[in-house]
Every structure is written in structure tokens, then in C-alpha cells.
């Protein structure tokens, strides 16, 4: 590693530890304070089967989420959304709701909503980290609501503009639309052709496939998809499901089939395995579950463990940290792919605005519109030609219709 690169990473690490939220002014402007914090636990109905949204015994389940509303003293409201998936991470709808109400809301009331630095530092003290950020999916709901509220108070979009040039990289921001990929997680290979056809009927031309633990099935799955979509971007995501020996064996075979990237091939804590996979150079290796804060991202880059990150704002605590990580990846010349946690509504809006600002080259794995039914927005998102239009206007650019919340509301024990 060169001295210049090492110096950059050390400087970035110091900035991250210092919690410099570059999405906001370092000296908060005078204005209305946060007067109220409300949470709304809801569950969206699901369409089709997505393995991470199944119940404990594999039964069909809904998509849990917690809407967060911040109300300023002048009545301006900002909306965020936390999107826990217990089968993907340890956070639950009950944990998110109680943490916000009992631990985070009390420290938010009376604060300046433009003070991103102070609020994130306070949340970090209230819910401390273990290996990385404590309850990042929960905190993402607060962060998105802050971005929405701050943008509305300023009359500006929460994402984009001159201050986001570093996020855009050499290709510049997008064109107001985000290209999507269709997620495939079939129970058997017999289902693959029908699932691909369903995606194409809705205008999708690109596919991300859930692989692991069976490499024989995975290779045949990718072979079928490549035959049916020869020009599409085929993205393999193992969600940490391989062991090291299997991953080293299957990576070159996936490359031979035209798979351009392999996401999260090993469990997040198998760092030696990630180094050996990257040294193999069969495929670019992306991390997902293993990256929550920029602290470990910088450390993992130093250790040579990854070629890029499948970025999920919901996973890493919101837009503030997602932006910081993307800037680090851009500076290092590493890959940024857009992904999500089957995001509905407000969380999806935040991801769309971020990925448009990034000017992503590859389609984003945002599969909320594929697997979820219903919306709490006044103008729900609609996929057209395999793309979603990026919302416009102040804040996150979407309006929550509070009358639409009740049909999805759930009572927590």
C-alpha cells in the first residue's frame, strides 16, 4: 500500500470516528427545534415468495417496518422509515419501535434537526456499538426523517447538488431514473424460467440471484438465467451462505458463466477467507452484511478484503453514513452497487435519491416493488420499463398520506 493511500485511509478513519456528518452544516443554523417524535409500526403485505420475509417456520409473512415522524416546533414534519428483517439481521419491529420511543426520542426532542453531528453522536451513546454501529437499521429511520425534515426546512432536496459531487464519481449523477434488477430466489430450478418471464413482463432485463449453499444448483441457476437474459447484468448474492472452500471453488465457475460480481460469499466475520477470495481474482468480491460503518470499511480496505460494497442505506444507519462510505469507495476506485432491504415507501425514496446522485453504472437490487403490496404514500412508486423515477422536491421528495397508515398498522406486545 502506498503512503498516499495509507494517509488517505487514516484520515478518513479519523473523520469517521469523529462523526463528521458531511450531509449537514458543522455549525447548525438557528431554527425550529424538534418538538415531537412518533413511531408507526406497520406490516406490508407481500407478493410472491422472498425467503427473508418468511416466518420462523418458513410460512408466508409480511414486510415489517416502522415509520418515524419528526415534528418541528413550527409544525414541519419529516418522515423516515426503519426496515428490520429478522432473518437477515438481528433487528425486529418490536426492538426498533421500543428503542426509538424509549431511548432515542427523549434525546431528540429539543434538538436542532440540522445538527446531524450532535444527533448521531447522541444516538451512538444511547445505543452503543458492539463490533459496529448499534441497531443501525433502527437508527436509519431517524436519519432519514432528519434528512427529510432538514430538506423541508431549507427548501432543498435531502440528496444531491454541488456538495454531492464526490458521491457521483467520474460519471456524474444520474438522469432522474434508477434502473432495477429482478430478484430470483426459486425453491427449485423448475421455477426459474417462469420467474424470469414474470420479470421480463414487467420490463426488467437484469437479474440478481440468491445463491448458496449448494454450488451445483447455483451454477445451473446462473446458467439458465444467462441463457434467458444473455445481455442482462447477472449479479450473484450468497448472503454469507458459502464456506471458504466452496466459495473458492465456485467463484471461477460463476465467472465462466458471465457472472460479473459475487456478493457476500462468506459470513461477515470470515475475514481471512475474504482476503483469499480477493487474492484469487476470479470475480470482484462485494461485501454487504459485513459493512455497517465506515470504520470497518476502511479497515477492510486496508486489509485487502473487498472490491466494493453493495450499498444499503437502511443497513448502515441511513444516508449520512452511506454517503461517507460511498465517498471512501470512490476515492479508492472500488465498486459501488445499489442494493436494499426490500425497502418500501420512505426507505425506498431515500435509496433512489442516493443512487441517482451516485450515477450508478449497474442496475440496483431494489426489490420492494417486486415483493410488496400497498403504500402509505400519496403518490406510490410505479415501475416502468424496469426503472423507477426518482422523487423530486424538498427533503426525500415523497409525501406520506397518514390516512393510509392505519390499514397496515400492527399492535406490538
Q: What's the pLDDT score for residue 165? A: 85
Q: Are residues 194 and 325 in the same domain?
A: yes
Residue 4 located in a structural domain? no
Q: What's the pLDDT score for residue 23? A: 42
CATH number of the domain residue 118 falls in: 3.30.390.10
Q: Which three cell numbers stand for residue 28?
A: 447548525
C-beta of residue 99 within 8 angstroms of C-beta of residue 68: no
Q: Which of 83-92, 93-102, 161-170, 303-312 has the lowest mean pLDDT?
A: 161-170
Q: From CA 165, how far away is CA 157, in angstroms rounded?
A: 15
Confidence of residue 30 (pLDDT cuts 50, 70, 90): low
Confidence of residue 60 (pLDDT cuts 50, 70, 90): confident
Q: Specify the number of domains making up the chain.
A: 2
Confidence of residue 358 (pLDDT cuts 50, 70, 90): very high
How far apart are the two ends of the chain, measured CA to CA in Å? 52
Q: Are residues 48 and 99 in the same domain?
A: yes
Tell me the sheet residues that pair with 34. 72
* Chosen domain end from 120, 154, 188: 154
Q: Are residues 187 and 329 in the same domain?
A: yes
Q: What's the pLDDT score for residue 239? A: 97
Q: What is the pLDDT of residues 217-227, one digit of tens each?
A: 999 999 999 99
Q: Are residues 144 and 173 in the same domain?
A: no
CATH number of the domain residue 243 falls in: 3.20.20.120
Q: What's the pLDDT score for residue 11? A: 52
Domain that holds residue 55: 23-154
Q: From CA 108, how far away is CA 104, in angstroms rounded?
A: 6
Q: Which residue has the cell 408466508?
A: 60
Q: Are residues 220 and 364 in the same domain?
A: yes
Quote the pTM value. 0.92
Residue 211 located in a structural domain? yes
Mean pLDDT for all residues in the chain: 92
List strands edge to edge, sheet with 285-287: 182-184, 207-210, 234-237, 261-263, 285-287, 308-311, 335-338
Q: From CA 316, how far away is CA 325, in angstroms rounded?
A: 9
Amino acid at each position: 500500500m502506498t503512503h498516499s493511500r495509507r494517509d488517505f485511509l487514516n484520515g478518513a478513519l479519523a473523520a469517521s470516528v469523529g462523526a463528521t456528518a458531511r450531509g449537514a452544516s458543522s455549525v447548525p443554523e438557528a431554527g425550529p427545534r424538534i418538538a415531537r417524535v412518533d413511531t408507526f409500526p406497520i406490516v406490508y403485505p407481500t407478493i410472491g415468495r422472498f425467503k427473508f420475509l418468511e416466518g420462523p417456520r418458513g410460512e408466508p409473512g409480511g414486510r415489517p417496518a416502522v415509520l418515524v415522524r419528526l415534528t418541528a416546533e413550527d409544525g414541519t414534519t419529516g418522515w423516515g422509515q426503519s426496515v428490520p428483517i429478522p432473518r437477515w439481521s438481528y433487528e425486529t419491529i418490536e426492538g426498533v419501535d421500543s428503542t426509538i420511543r424509549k431511548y432515542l426520542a427523549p434525546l431528540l426532542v429539543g434538538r436542532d434537526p440540522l445538527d446531524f453531528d450532535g444527533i448521531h453522536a447522541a444516538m451512538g451513546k444511547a445505543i452503543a456499538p458492539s463490533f459496529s454501529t448499534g441497531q443501525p437499521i433502527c437508527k436509519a429511520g431517524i436519519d432519514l426523517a432528519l434528512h427529510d425534515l432538514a430538506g423541508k426546512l431549507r427548501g432543498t432536496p435531502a440528496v444531491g447538488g454541488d456538495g454531492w459531487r464526490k458521491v457521483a464519481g467520474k460519471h456524474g449523477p444520474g438522469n432522474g431514473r434508477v434502473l432495477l434488477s429482478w430478484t430470483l430466489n426459486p425453491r427449485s430450478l423448475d421455477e426459474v424460467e417462469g420467474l424470469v418471464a414474470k420479470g421480463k413482463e414487467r420490463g426488467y432485463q437484469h437479474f440478481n440471484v440468491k445463491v448458496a449453499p449448494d454450488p451445483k444448483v447455483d451454477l445451473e441457476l446462473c446458467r439458465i438465467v444467462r441463457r434467458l437474459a444473455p445481455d442482462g447484468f447477472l449479479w450473484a448474492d450468497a448472503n454469507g451462505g458459502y464456506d471458504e472452500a466452496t466459495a473458492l471453488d465456485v467463484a471461477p465457475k460463476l465467472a465462466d458463466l458471465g457472472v460479473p460480481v459475487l456478493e457476500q460469499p462468506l459470513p461477515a466475520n470470515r475475514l481471512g477467507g475474504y482476503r483469499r477470495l480477493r487474492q484469487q481474482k476470479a470475480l470482484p468480491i462485494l461485501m454487504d452484511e459485513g459493512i455497517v460503518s465506515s470504520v470497518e470499511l476502511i479497515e477492510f480496505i486496508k486489509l485487502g478484503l473487498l472490491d466494493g460494497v453493495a450499498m444499503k442505506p437502511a443497513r448502515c444507519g441511513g444516508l449520512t453514513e452511506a454517503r461517507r462510505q460511498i465517498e471512501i469507495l470512490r476515492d479508492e476506485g472500488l465498486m459501488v452497487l445499489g442494493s436494499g432491504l426490500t425497502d418500501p415507501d420512505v426507505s425506498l425514496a431515500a435509496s433512489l435519491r442516493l443512487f441517482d446522485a451516485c450515477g450508478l453504472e449497474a442496475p440496483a437490487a431494489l426489490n420492494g416493488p417486486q415483493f410488496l403490496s400497498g403504500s402509505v404514500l400519496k403518490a406510490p412508486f410505479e415501475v416502468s420499463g424496469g426503472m423507477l423515477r426518482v422523487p423530486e422536491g424538498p427533503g426525500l421528495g415523497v409525501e406520506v398520506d397518514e390516512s393510509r397508515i392505519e390499514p397496515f398498522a400492527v399492535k406490538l406486545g
